[in-house]
Each structure stands twice: as C-alpha cells, then as structure tokens.
Amino acid sequence: NIDTGAGLERILPVLQGVSSLFETDVFRPVLAAAESLTGVRYGTDHASDVSLRILADHARAMAMVVGDGVVPSNEGRGYVLRRVIRRAVRRAFQLGVVRPVTPLLVGEATSVLSSAYPELGDRADAIVETVDREETSFRRTLESGAAILEEELAKGKKVSGEVAFRLHDTHGFPIELTMEMAAEAGALVDVEGFEGAMAEQRRRAQADARARRGTAGEETLYREQLEQSGPSVFTGYQHYEEPARVVGVLPGAEPDLVEIVLDRTPFYAEGGGQVGDTGVITTETGKGRVLDTQAVLPGLIVHRARVEGDIFAGQDALAVIDAPRREDIRRNHTGTHLLHSALRQVLGDHVHQQGSLVAPDRLHFDFSHPSGLRPEELRDVLTLTNTDVLSDSPVEVIETTMDRAKAMGALAFFGDKYGEEVRVVRAGPHSTELCGGTHVGTLGTIGPVTVVSEASIGANTRRIEAVTGTGALGLLEDRRHTVDEAARLLRVGPDGVVDALERLLDRQRQADKEIQRLHSQRLDDEAALLADGSPRVVVRRRDGLTPDQLRELAQAVRRRGPSVVVVAGSPEGTKASVAVATDGTVDAGDTVRELAALVGGGGGGSPELAVAGGRQVSGIEALLEEARRRLGA
C-alpha cells in the first residue's frame, strides 16, 4: 500500500480473480440488492451500471457514517451524509424506482461489513431506521419543492435565482436538481442569480465569524505569544486559586478589555460545552476581573478581563476563580453525563451527543433522536438520573490510554479529537465518558435534576434543557407557586386543579360548538338570500369574512342551485380575498388565479372550489366586475 498505492480494495479484485472491486464479496451482495430493487441487471448498460455502482458505494458509506453516530443535518458531516443519501435516492429515481431503496441497500451493506465492524451489527436497526427516515423526508421534500418549482414555472420559462436559492437553502434541493427539473419543463434557471445569493449568504457567514473572533482573535498574534511564553498549565482540576506569572497581555476586542496570559492557571477555558471560568487576577499594580476564559490555540489560555490599575508581563499574580460559580458548573456538567446515560437507557444506544452547554445557571444537552420524548419516557429519564444522584456514588477521574478507555466502555464522540492519553470520567454505576471538564466529587452533590424543556432543534436532533441543585429547587418552587395560584383562581385545592381545568375546558368546548353552530346558521341564511331567484351565476361582495368563511359561503350558495358563485371581500380592510365555487362547467382554480391578479395576489384549488388572496383591497370592485363580464352575470 505504502510503496505502490495498491491498497486493500485494489488487491482484493486480484485475489478474488474478478475485474472490478464491485464484483468482490465486499460489494457484490450490495450490488445484488440494488439489482433486485431496480430490476436492472449489472453489466447490461454502461449508464445503468454507473447508477448501480453509486447505489452500492453510497449504501456502504451510509452504513459506516451513521454507524459512527452521524445523523443527517444541514451542516458539517451531517450535510455530507444527507447529500449521499439524496444522491442515491435520485439515482434510483432515474432507474424508475419509486419505492424506498435505502433500507434494503444499507441493511445489506451493514450485514456485509459487520464481520469486520461488529458495532455495525449491534446498531443495524438504528442505522436502517435513520437512513429510511431521511429518505422518507427527502421524498416529501421533493414533493414540496416540486410544488414551488411548478408555481415558478407557471409564471414563465425561467426560474429566478432567488427561487433556486430558496429551494436549495430551505428545501434541500441541489441546484443540479432544480436545473434538471426545469429543463424537463423547457425552462432555464438563473444560475448567476443563484450563485449571487449563495455568495451573499457566504459573505454574511464570514462577516459573522469575523465579528465573533474579535480584534484580538488574529491567529498570528496568538501564535507569537505561544512561541514566546510556551503553553499554559491548567491546574483547575485541583485548585481554585493559583500563584502564577503574567507572561503576556494582549489587546482585547473592546477598548477597556485585555487578554491576560499566565504561565499556569486554575481558570477552565471554554470547551466540551462547558463555559469558561470567571474570577479575579491580582498583581501588585492592578486587578483584572476575568469575564471569560478561552483556549484560543492548543496550549494557549487567555483570560479576557477588565483591568483596574495596570497589569503587565513579568509580574507575579494570584489567579482566583469564582468558586460558587464553578460549583454550579460542576453540578450541571456531571448532571449532563447522567442525563446522557439515562437517555441511552430509555431510548436506546442510537442516542449520541450532538452538542451541549454547561453553564452555571442551566445545562442543555443535544442528542440524536428522531422524535419528541413521550411523557413516560421523560419521566423514566428523570427517575434514572435522580436515582443515580441519590446513590451519592463517587465520581472517578481516570487518565489512561485510548484503548484502555474503550475497554472500560467509555463513550467517545465522532468528530472529537483524542490523543493517546485520555481522561475518563466515571459518574456512578451507569455513566462512563471521555471528558476534559470539571465535575463533582460525589453524585449527591448535584442535588435534584429537573427538566425545563425538551424540543427539536433540527432534523433528527433533540435538546433537553435542565437545571440542577439550587436552580432545580427554585424551579420547583416557582411551579408550586403557579399551581397554588391556579388553585386560588379556580377556587379549589392544589390537588383539584386538573379536574377543575378539565371542567372549564369542557364548558369552553361546548361554547365553541354553539358559536360554530350560530356561525353556520348565519352563513346558511346569507346563502339563501344570495341564491334567491335561482340565478345561474352569483357574484357578490361580502366584507368582514375570513378566507375560510368566504369559501364556506360560496359552497353554501352553490349547493342551492347556481352553477358559478364568486364571493370577494376584505376581512379587516388590509387584504383582499376571493372564493369561487362551481358545478364543474367552469374551472374554479383557473378562474380564481386570473381574478386574483386584479388584487395583486394569487391562489388556487380544485376545478370545483378555489380560494385566492391579495393585498390590493382597492381592486376588489374591479375583480367583481371582471367576474361578471367573464361569467355573463
């Protein structure tokens, strides 16, 4: 491999006596699955052979990447995975396949690879479920994006750059797909406009990145400091204060801020989701109030501070962190590990950390999971977490080799970089993870763990926000006060709040039904007046009705005999709405689209019923007059 470039996959065809890697026992079963799905035999046509090879190759990539804990998303490695899945689905479409293809392909690839990668076999069901869910979502994306594209194509023979960009950015449509579908309709795409929109998006992102970096964020400045003073030594696992020497003072992002560099420091630099420490650095001539701590380069820790007096390089200093704040952070960080362990126990091993925030006042934990937690699942997660807390088990920190950490069952995360020596945090009987953060000594120190919220933050990714210790106690007290206040307003005891609310909601539902009945009766009476005399066509203005109410009125009038009904008006004086109902002799959808242009809007529907709207209220009378002219009313 090193001398000739003949890697395993080049040698394998030679050893097995075949002419292509895709005919080896590594690929042939997956290729056979692709043949079965598509009904196309490999070797009969060059173009279809390319598609079959792509299906087989991408299936193997999906299996390995999802097996490593990556989930489809719109950025980073998740976006690469999403493009791989979507490319495979599109290739299958080109071969005429409309049913899902990834579950069978990835299932076969996982089966082949699991002998060399046993963990793939253990996660096979979760891998297949992830790619199947993404394919299903993409099929919906195709449908929704196609509808937008068709609407744009109806306006002319060119797709604007803005629409192409929106399809790409919002619906995940690659520009190539937009161009292909447009070409099928005999239209062009404004590629230059699309690229301009993409460039503007990149410009905004780069400007944002520069703003976040700040004036002291120039890498050359930091590298010069690191070469001059050497790496900072972190002592904060053992100490909350540390005698140190100031080895550098750099300009800050704001005029009254500086970045202090010490030879050794107890301040934890932001990393692994844990926020940086705050505190005070004191010398003979000045005091720096540290607002944040960052590791700007590997080995270089800077303390962003506002200084009273003067601090300069060469001085001796005393560095003291904000101890109560650090204690809150430690509780939340260890609490995050317990939540992660509980989530995996309740939901399954497919749960992987996707990000986290460990702050003094709260924590949030992002994890891979396709759907929201059911109430009983969330209850089980909290029960397991707080049971571990009540055990008051010790939290052990073990520095060992990566191989030894894996043997201990420590969780490591895809995308994180680890050296040969790693730090393992074992928090009680259920949680063992690689982690460089700060943690409590025993689990009982965490105090109660309470969830504030659980929600989606992206495709296949959920976020739990929680509090621990005094934060949890404060939250529980706030909730108790809320229940007491609700009980007072409902004039029941706290235990009777739910029953009282159910009775109140039942009365509200009955009142809503009565309002709806009266509303329907009023529309029916109105319809009877409009249909009086059995006209063939009814064209009327009715203000004060919502688009839905206009549609109901048009239908009600149509049911009383007229062939065509056009009702238009303004719900509140700022927008125009129109509804068309017909017996099929006139196409309601075409009619409403043409009439809506007179109020600066658009819409559509079926041949029998359609609704449209616009912002030009002044055009309503012209719309009605045009309807009368067209329909002979």
- All domains of the chain, ordered by start, with CATH? 8-155 (no CATH), 216-321 (2.40.30.130), 327-476 (3.30.980.10), 517-631 (3.10.310.40)
Distance from C-alpha of 476 to C-alpha of 284, rounded to nearest angstrom = 46
pLDDT band, very low/low/confident/very high, at 586 (cuts 50, 70, 90): very high
| Strand boundaries in 252-339, DSSP class E | 257-262, 264-265, 279-282, 286-297, 300-309, 316-321
Q: What's the pLDDT score for residue 400?
A: 93
What φ, ψ does residue 431 adopt, rounded to 5°? -115, 120
Calculate mean pLDDT across residues 349-361: 92
pTM equals: 0.65
Q: What's the pLDDT score for residue 4?
A: 66
Q: Which of 183, 22, 11, 211 is nearest to 112 (CA)?
A: 22
Cα angle vertex 499, ends 495, 501, to 5°?
Answer: 110
Q: Are 267 and 279 in contact (CB under 8 A)?
A: yes
Calculate mean pLDDT across residues 133-155: 80
Alpha carbon dihedral 599, 601, 605, 611, in 10-degree steps, equals -50
Tens digits of per-residue pLDDT, 220-276? 889 989 999 999 999 999 999 999 999 999 988 787 899 999 999 999 999 989 999
Calculate mean pLDDT across residues 161-174: 81
Whether pLDDT at 413 is above 80: no
Q: Which residues of 499-535 are buried (b: 16+ CB within 10 A; e: fewer)?
A: ebeeeeeeeeeeeeeeeeeeeeeebeebbeebbeeeb
Given strand 431-434, what is the order of strands in its sheet?
395-401, 421-427, 431-434
Q: Which of 156, 145, 200, 211 is nearest to 178 (CA)?
A: 145
- Indicate the SS3 state at residue 597: helix
Going by the DSSP 8-state scheme, the letter that residue 52 receives in this structure is H
Q: Which of 578, 604, 601, 577 is nearest to 590 (CA)?
A: 604
Q: Which of 49, 88, 48, 42 is nearest to 65 (CA)?
A: 88
Whether pLDDT at 94 is above 50: yes
Whether pLDDT at 212 is above 50: no
pLDDT band, very low/low/confident/very high, at 588 (cuts 50, 70, 90): very high
Whether pLDDT at 215 is above 60: no
Tally of CA atoms within 13 A in the half-sphere of 303 that contains its CB: 34
Widest Cα–Cα separation across the chain: 100
Distance from C-alpha of 63 to C-alpha of 111, rounded to nearest angstrom = 10
Contacts 24+ apart (CB under 8 A), 174-177: 174/83, 174/86, 177/90
Query: At residue 232, what is the residue type?
Result: S
Whether pLDDT at 43 is above 80: yes
Q: In Å, how far are 247, 256, 294, 435 from 301, measured between CA atoms?
A: 11, 20, 6, 18
Q: Which of 6-15, 122-131, 624-633 has the lowest mean pLDDT?
A: 6-15
Q: Rounded mean pLDDT of the chain?
A: 89
Calculate mean pLDDT across residues 360-373: 94
Strand-pair partners of 368: 461
Tens digits of per-residue pLDDT, 424-476? 999 999 999 999 999 999 999 999 999 999 999 988 899 999 999 999 999 99
Q: What's the pLDDT score for residue 172?
A: 65
Whether pLDDT at 330 is above 70: yes
